[in-house]
Structure 1
Amino acid sequence: MACTRPPSAPRSAISNVNETSVFLEWIPPADTGGRKDVSYYIACKKCNSHSGLCEACGGHVRYLPQQTGLKNTSVMMVDLLAHTNYTFEIEAVNGVSDQNPGARQFVSVNVTTNQAAPSPVSSVKKGKITKNSISLSWQEPDRPNGIILEYEIKYFEKDQETSYTIIKSKETTITADGLKPGSAYVFQIRARTAAGYGGFSRRFEFETSPVLAASRDQSQIPIIVVSVTVGVILLAVVIGFLLSGSCCDHGCGWASSLRAVAYPSLTWRCGYSKAKQDPEEEKMHFHNGHIKLPGVRTYIDPHTYEDPNQAVHEFAKEIEASCITIERVIGAGEFGEVCSGRLKLQGKREFPVAIKTLKVGYTEKQRRDFLGEASIMGQFDHPNIIHLEGVVTKSKPVMIVTEYMENGSLDTFLKKNDGQFTVIQLVGMLRGIASGMKYLSDMGYVHRDLAARNILINSNLVCKVSDFGLSRVLEDDPEAAYTTRGGKIPIRWTAPEAIAFRKFTSASDVWSYGIVMWEVMSYGERPYWEMTNQDVIKAVEEGYRLPSPMDCPAALYQLMLDCWQKDRNSRPKFDEIVSMLDKLIRNPSSLKTLVNASSRVSNLLVEHSPVGSGAYRSVGEWLEAIKMGRYTEIFMENGYSSMDAVAQVTLEDLRRLGVTLVGHQKKIMNSLQEMKVQLVNGMVPL
């Protein structure tokens, strides 16, 4: 036998970064060394971007399924540090690698992790405890992943979890007061950075001190005082509400004064509710309100403000125009130009930004609409939502400044890179979009125009939801069409109930997300191709759904179909979508089962006659129309001389004919598919 030897290095390693996790995938080595016992080892190095020096990652990094002895050609690293440069070296080894005196053979991948929420608080210590209060302290999370902005402390009486209290603190200590004597309370703490909240800590249980023994008569005095006080307040509330109807007609008068006695912290106004509490009121609310509160901030519609400028300055930071350098125009918006440039803030390094400008000669309404998007964007803080740096309103031109996304809009980027990404990379993009939409849904915000053209992508292939100027999109976007109720909506991306009844919800955003999935997996193909908007509405209403993109994993296409359920209550929620995509990423083998090519159209379309020659008079004319005329002679030589014969072509047939380029295969198959689609109910007979 010939001597065996160590294998060569693995090939074509690619990475997919998701916050502080990295997924690596590679192709086995070209030379296995004449042995079958090949496995893989992953070396992780953390690198300093300034000095260029690297060091071993350490034991805090977890490898799924493992770091050494890997049999699969993929691995996921989790618990990495945020905003950190890493180098991963993938080495193939076999039974004689230890005997090799030469240099290691490996392939390396350099990545930079993204912004991420902090890790959970791991330990909480009790301090002073009285019969009505518990003081606590804790350590900063092991992995803060940024500057801790505040902590959120959730606590409730044991076995009373449905009624809890939230306290917010910028320090690592708090005192919870107003508790019951001799009672057990459960505490959980989580930290927040610019990336959002981390997970809650495990539950910590502490007990207040019991009530000290006292004489029967003395112990009843506080009870009597409390009872009388409560009675007076209840009486004041009842009288206040009885008089509230006439208050707004005849002036609040003494009834308002009575309410002010009962609730001194509230400002009463006739027929008006404040859009947002004052910060101090919010603080009081969090410290003393024993009510069920959501863990995430709630979106506030800027249109509820009487003065739109107030909303802009509340949610967006004012930037001095002198801090901004505009470098070049990269596009045109409805209100003016979109530019790339640099932003230099005091005490920080200069960094690239995107700048939207408001054109000269604007009306007050245009200015209000332009800055309205900033008022919305400024409320969001998530790694998959475009980040607002600030606005310029005190000088001209008026500007909105956001982070810069090097690769631009997702649909254009995919068209330029047709067939260039692995399925895992595409799923990683979809996971990022779903994560951003989950955040918006949790905030109570409905996007209403989710489409690949409104997703931006950076150099790390991180996708971020953008374009929150809905009224502009609805009125002026070429993808929009009039509905019977007036106004414009992007028909091809919009759920049936939103088209028919203008019923926009997170469930209608889920429908749009399904269309975005289809766009991503088809590399920016136009949904429903050249069907008219009216034909799309009719087909969808009658049960037609987009067929699977070519080479699409069955699990992903099934998720698309779930998003396109007619009953909006049957569609998955965004948190379920994120969870499902995470499972697929952790188990890449689940993505290897593809949708059966023969059923891509037939299982979705109603019965129809064979494709005729009404649209194209010859095979050559059809191929020329889709710019594939180079294959005319090959088709004719192999017996595909009529459009009826061409209609039966499969992907395997194309490969047999020598059509090997993925982009060409897709263009031909999609054209055939489009012709079949147009036969639905005879919409556009061929």
Structure 2
Amino acid sequence: MVGMLKKDWASQNSIALSWLEPNLPPLAVVDYEIKYYEKEHEELSYSSTRTKVPSVIITGLKPSTCYVFSLRTRTSAGHSAYSPKYEYETTDDTSDMASDQGQVLVIVTAAVGGFTLLIILTLFFLITGRCQWYIKSKMSSEDKRRTNYQNGHAIPYPGVKTYVDPDTYEDPAQAVHEFAKEIDPTRIRIERVIGAGEFGEVCSGRLRTPGKKEIAVAIKTLKGGYVERQRRDFLREASIMGQFDHPNIIRLEGVVTKSRPVMIVVEYMENGSLDSFLRNHDGHFTVIQLVGMLRGIASGMKYLSDMGYVHRDLAARNILVNSNLVCKVSDFGLSRVLEDDPEAAYTTTGGKIPIRWTAPEAIAYRKFSSASDAWSYGIVMWEVMSYGERPYWEMSNQDVILSIEEGYRLPAPMGCPVALHQLMLHCWQKERSQRPNFIDMVSFLDKLIRNPSSLLALVEDIQCLPESPGEVGEYPMFISIGDWLDSIKMSQYKNSFVAAGFSTLDSVAHMTIEDVRRIGVVLIGHQRRIVSSIQTLRLQLLHEQEKGFHV
């Protein structure tokens, strides 16, 4: 752990910090990471920068604003814990001190640059080799800061990539130019319209790159008549996407900002959004293929989580599928049309929330994190295993919120291995600290893929993740057929069940899909919902019987 994080000086847009080197024999410090954010904002949205010496100048800050700073070290053994938080404030615009300090900084920098060789030669005779190394490394760091930092934001060292929020830039256009490549519009050939986005049409086309093979691309366009705020919000997605490089994250090819229409160009995904693709290919895939899709999504989310990026709107509609069934996470916009259904979003202070995919703490308190993304991933798992069915069916948003609060969780989709449903239940833990992280989920799904024959018998393997959830017992017990059907919004079939001789919960638990069809449930969606709930009811009854209860 490093010592106290001390403020050396502050100006209206900068703060200089320093600290004592930690005593960590035999591990040498590789570099330091400084995390900072405005005090009045949530810590979930923060910036970070790195340095190899125990001092840093953080620029691009707002005048008269209090910032919270914390520091951690990185050694060959990994990262340390963050230091305690320290609060320091920038000066105001009229501060004479800020002006004086800026002049002093310029003079000192010029002096160091002009007399570097003289200082090194002098110090060689006056101080130890260790101190000499320290000065050289400090000057080397200053050089790197000039080349590796722009607008106060780190261009991360290889292998240590961290997400930079475009909103921290004073000029959003700078973030676009830093993270997205400008494309000459003459190299783009638009072929046809394939959809409509929030800001304009989405087209397919071809991108021609000199010396490379022409490739298929998707082109998002910004419709005419836009205001500057719409242009900024539109390009913000490119500023985010351009920072990512992973086979399960949609790849940004570049942007067109110097002519009209303004465009974002990304790789083309032949099979479109995952939810529509699954609905159009209902029942066409093996369980292993579906698990492979889920594994790809989890891998992409692990990458985002490792970078410190929280997606906030992970759903099958925001996953794209290519011709090889590779799934890639997409939709990194600031504001988005969540669904055509106006009921799909729950509006709170700060924007819309997709209720059916969002963790309880994010709905109630807007506490978004990788743990809330894990909850959403559980819903995506359910969507995949149900071939694109709507989570919670026709339940209203308010009913979903109340049901979740009372402990209700989605039952396993028809034909879903118990192991996968158990993973879903882990993702839907009320306490976010008890949900699995994406590293654990990728590892678990890899285990299922390596042992396909045991997909239905790997329930105990879920124990390798954090504390097992309160399994089936967390579901409310039902007293009658009517109560059970009411709970899944299928009360219209009550008389059909009774007329067919299924008058007790025990008899229902032994029903097959053929039984469900025979009593007159002809709609595929209704069949799935009932059979999924029957599977859960069957496990529930077994659980109660094992505890000595009799229904």
TM range, smaller chain: 0.5 to 0.7
Q: Are 1:435 and 2:299 counterparts? A: yes
C-alpha separation in 2, matches of 1:508 and 1:514: 10
Secondary structure of the residue aligned to 1:252 is helix
| Partner residue in 1 for 2:276 | 412
Secondary structure of the structure 1 residue equivalent to 2:529: helix
Q: 1:473 to 1:261 in 2, by over 3 A?
A: farther
Q: Secondary structure at 1:326's aligned position in 2?
A: strand
Do the aligned partners of 2:346 and 2:397 also contact (CA within 8 Å) in 1? Answer: no
* Counterpart Cα distance in 2 of 1:322 and 1:420: 41
The separation in 2 between residues aligned to 1:621 and 1:475, in whole angstroms, is 28
1:175-574 superposed matches below 5 A: 249-260=95-106, 280-281=144-145, 295-473=159-337, 478=342, 480-485=344-349, 487-574=351-438
Task: Work out which of the residue numbers 478, 485, 491 in structure 2 matches 1:607.
Answer: 478
SS of the equivalent of 2:258 reads coil
Counterpart amino acid of residue 607 in structure 1 = F
Determine the structure 2 residue equivalent to 1:655.
Answer: 514
The separation in 1 between residues aligned to 2:110 and 2:339, in whole angstroms, is 46
Alignment partner of 1:163 is 2:29:
yes
Cα gap change, 1:672 to 1:436, in 2 (>3 Å): closer
Partner of 2:15: none
Q: More helix per residue: 1 or 2?
A: 2
Residue 666 of structure 1 and its aligned partner are, at CA, apart by: 6.5
Q: Determine the C-alpha separation between the residues in 2 that align with 1:396 and 1:536.
A: 43
Q: d(CA) in 2 for partners of 1:614 and 1:159?
A: 65
Give distance in 2, aligned partners of 1:405 and 1:414: 14
Taking structure 1 as reference, are residues 440 and 644 closer, same or farther at Cα in structure 2, changes over 3 Å only? same
Q: Is the 8 A contact 1:651 1:669 kept in 2?
A: no
What's the CA shift for 1:676? 12
C-alpha change, 1:242 and 1:674, in structure 2 (3 Å) is: closer
Aligned counterparts of 2:99 and 2:182: Cα–Cα separation in 1: 41
Instruction: Render the CA deviation track for 1:428-465: whole Å, top value 9, x for unaligned.
Output: 11111011111111111110000000000011110000
Contact map agreement 2:199 2:222 (CA 8 A) in 1: yes
Q: What is the letter of the counterpart of residue 572 of structure 1? A: P
AA in 1 matched with 2:260:
K
- Cα distance between partner residues in 1 of 2:484 and 2:426: 36
Q: What amino acid sits opposite 1:252 in the alignment?
A: A
1:249 counterpart letter in structure 2: S
Q: Kindly provide the CA deviation profile for residues 52-76 of structure 1, in whole angstroms up to 9, marking residues without a partner as x.
A: xxxxxxxxxxxxxxxxxxxxxxxxx
**Higher normalized contact order (CA 8 Å, seq sep 6+, divided by chain length):** 2
RMSD over aligned Cα atoms: 4.3
The code of the aligned residue for 1:604 comes to Y
Query: Counterpart amino acid of 1:421?
Result: F
The alpha carbon displacement at 1:165 in A equals 4.8
Question: What is the identity, as a one-letter code, of the residue corresponding to 2:27?
Answer: E
The verdict on how the C-alpha distance between 1:559 and 1:251 changes in structure 2, with shifts beyond 3 A counting, is same
1:602, CA displacement in angstroms?
7.8
Identity of aligned residues (%): 61
In the TM superposition, residue 614 of structure 1 has moved relative to its aligned partner by: 10
Counterpart CA distance in 1 for 2:410 and 2:342 is 21
Match of 1:590 in 2: 454
Question: Following the alignment from structure 1 to structure 2, what is the Cα–Cα distance between the partners of residues 306 and 244?
Answer: 15
The residue aligned with 2:14 is none
CA contact (8 A) 1:613 1:644 kept: no
Instruction: Give the whole-Å Cα distance in 2 for the aligned partners of 1:612 and 1:647.
Output: 14
Counterpart residue number, 2:546 = none
**How far apart, in 1, do the equivalents of 2:362 and 2:446 lie?**
29
What is the aligned length? 416
CA shift digits 1:597-655 (9 cap, x unpaired): xx99886234343227998xxx99859xxxxxxxx9xx89xx84488579954575333
SS in 2 for 1:489: strand
Which digits, 9 at most, give the CA deviation of each residue in 1:83-135, with x for residues without a partner? xxxxxxxxxxxxxxxxxxxxxxxxxxxxxxxxxxxxxxxxxxxxxxxxxxxxx
Q: Quickly say closer, same or farther: Cα 1:367–1:165, change in 2 above 3 A.
A: closer
Aligned-partner Cα distance in 2 for 1:534–1:453: 22
Q: Runs of 5+ in structure 2 lacking a partner?
A: 1-22, 33-51, 54-75, 78-86, 113-140, 150-155, 460-469, 537-551
Is the Cα–Cα contact under 8 Å of residues 508 and 568 in structure 1 kept in the other structure?
yes
How much has 1:402 moved relative to structure 2? 0.6
Check the 8 A contact 1:480/1:490 in 2, yes or no.
yes
The answer to whether the Cα contact below 8 Å between 1:547 and 1:601 also exists between their aligned partners in 2 is no
SS in 1 for 2:457: coil
Specify the code of the residue in structure 2 equivalent to 1:461.
L
Deviation at 1:487, TM superposition (A): 2.6
Letter in 1 for 2:96: H
CA gap 1:261/1:316 in 2 versus in 1, 3 angstroms = same
1:133 maps to none
**CA-CA distance at 1:394 after TM superposition:** 1.6
Distance in 1 (CA, whole Å) between partners of 2:400 and 2:89 is 55
TM-score (norm 2): 0.65
DSSP 3-state at the match of 1:420: coil
Given that 1:480 and 1:488 are in contact with CA atoms closer than 8 Å, whether structure 2 keeps it comes out as: no
Q: Write the letter of the residue equivalent to 2:30.
A: Y
Taking structure 1 as reference, are residues 470 and 549 closer, same or farther at Cα in structure 2, changes over 3 Å only? farther
